[in-house]
Amino acid sequence: MSLKINRRSFVKSTLLVSGAAATTGMLSGCATGEFIHGIASGDPLQDRVIIWTRVTPQGMGKVPVEWEVATDLGCHNVVQRGIYVTDEFRDYTVKVDVKGLTPGTRYYYRFRTTMDVSPTGITRTLPQGAVDQFKFAVFSCSNYPAGYFNVYRHAVERDDIDAVLHIGDYFYEYGMGGYATEDAEEMGRVPAPENELLTLQDYRARYAQYHTDPDLQALHAKLPFITVWDDHEIANDAWKAGAENHNDGEGDYFLRKANAIKAYFEWLPIRERHGEDNDDIYRSFEIGDLVSLYMLETRLLARDKQLDYADYMTPTGGFDSDRFLADLSNPARALLGEEQKAWLQNGMATSGATWQVLGQQILMGRMNLPIPLITFQIGFAEYIQLTQLAQTNPDQLTPEQWAILQAPSVPYNLDAWDGYPVERETVLETARLLNKNLVVLAGDTHNAWASNLKTLSGDLVGVEFATPGVTSPGLETYLEGQDPDLVAAGAVAFIDDLKWANTQYRGYMTVTFTPEEAVSQWILVDTVKDKDFRVLDVYGKSLKVLPGPTNRQILDV
């Protein structure tokens, strides 16, 4: 449908088609608003996509916002339009699930109030049928006070990306003085509100601040996002009934969780679920016959509390490994939970797509490191020297040094899939039994990793590509003084399934799927503390995996 109409008739015709939500009564005497938080789109399907904006109201009451979706930048060829009436109960955000669209098509969209017109955004629907290529840009851990969103800017300036996956830590809940805020004042990025987020107003205000960032705005305006939360959209190390960064003095955890979820649904272009406070945001996307993408929820729905090594220390300073292993391998220990797991297994069983892709938060690869490294008893450089000495001149090693080398390796992060090995094995075994090509995308760590994924029996079933953070500091901060190249080399040497790592730089990755291969490219930047940055080609890296049962492992490009 192509209509050229003036503003008055646009409003009139829209009112006629947009149903009960928009009545002429709402338009009289209502507030108006302007668009300072940008526009966004998300959750594209073959025939629909979410478009989003927020109006800053001038006055109180309901604000009618006209929207239109067109096939051209000038919005002459409008294919869908309507009016969405927003108000303070959804923080004046606007979210429309625009239906009746054509698969694999680029669309333009914009919003209008009586006083302002939004910028025009670009989005696209997912293709169907035979698909030659699809490229995701994958982001995580975008922490406003920790730096500039340079890597968003880099993605905006390229034209080869089809959709953005943000796999968690879209924002951080800390207040000024909290995690990674040391440089915030100097960069003009003091978190708002300055306190840690607890109330609905807090969470809303933090989203509002992030949505004024020009680089984030530009990326939202250019590409559809598919998002899942990790922990920091609520509180650090969140699980179904608590969080490391939630204490008794901070009130009811479930109320805080509900506040965080409500604000998330208000401020992000995610399709509404069954109500405003639902935490079952796991959902799938079909990219024609090429990719089945499963976005997983690993935080609020079913996750049991993280184990803590400190809880297994004996009074004499030893470690009760029997009790630890019994708890770790308890079959009832949940990360996805039964319902989500069954949904995933059913999806993989019925999918005919070449690639089965998990878009999710935490590392699935086994990340076991020698205990002396985890406990900072020794640095990576010295540990590597000891291993070399053990091979060349073992007689020179002292008993203490032998003890260090003989210490067992354990998972370094029990908040990751390493802390939930039974469910991990179920997922990996599912891929093996179904003979599927599994590609897992992960974030959370702020560093870049590439791992093979193996069942406990040693069968290769897929690979994991993990994206570094957008700004949150990585291992280079925790291991200050240690050469990051040696840390990465040591990690690859000591962790069996880990094939590549960068533990120093922020960035993002693109993952390009074709029928022949899946290629991950990591784009790393030299700084996030200055708006002037450059991409570190020398540390750029591409790795791939091929489909087929004998190819399911990390390969050089």
Distance CA 176, CA 444 (A): 21
Q: Which is nearer to Fe ion, 49 or 141 (CB)?
A: 141
> What number of helices (H) and strands (E) belong to the chain?
15, 27
CB of residue 466 to Fe ion, shortest distance in Å: 12
CA dihedral 56, 57, 62, 68 (to 10 degrees): -50
Q: Which is nearer to Fe ion, 125 or 467 (CB)?
A: 467
Q: Which is nearer to Fe ion, 141 or 208 (CB)?
A: 141
Distances (CA, A) of 117 to 66, 67, 124, 212: 9, 10, 21, 17
Distance CA 291, CA 128 (A): 10
Q: Which is nearer to Fe ion, 286 or 297 (CB)?
A: 297
CB of residue 464 to Fe ion, shortest distance in Å: 17
Distance CA 58, CA 116 (A): 11
CB of residue 258 to Fe ion, shortest distance in Å: 22
Residue 69: burial class (beta carbons within 10 Å; 0-12, 13-18, 19+):
buried
Q: Which is nearer to Fe ion, 68 or 297 (CB)?
A: 297
Distance CA 264, CA 166 (A): 13
CB of residue 230 to Fe ion, shortest distance in Å: 6
Q: Which amino acid is at 474?
A: G
Distance CA 311, CA 329 (A): 16
Residue 157 makes CB contacts below 8 A (sequence gap 6+) with none
Distance CA 59, CA 34 (A): 12
Q: Which is nearer to Fe ion, 169 or 215 (CB)?
A: 169
CB of residue 472 to Fe ion, shortest distance in Å: 5
Q: Which is nearer to Fe ion, 506 or 544 (CB)?
A: 506
Give the distance, in angstroms, between the CA of residue 374 and the centroid of all CA atoms in the same chain: 26
- Euclidean distance between the first and final Cα of the chain, in Å? 46
Name the token pair of 96.
């429309």
CB of residue 302 to Fe ion, shortest distance in Å: 21
CB of residue 446 to Fe ion, shortest distance in Å: 6
Binding region for Fe ion (CB under 5 A): 141, 169, 472
Per the CB < 8 A criterion, the answer to whether 17 and 82 are in contact is: yes
Q: Which is nearer to Fe ion, 172 or 513 (CB)?
A: 172
CB of residue 171 to Fe ion, shortest distance in Å: 10
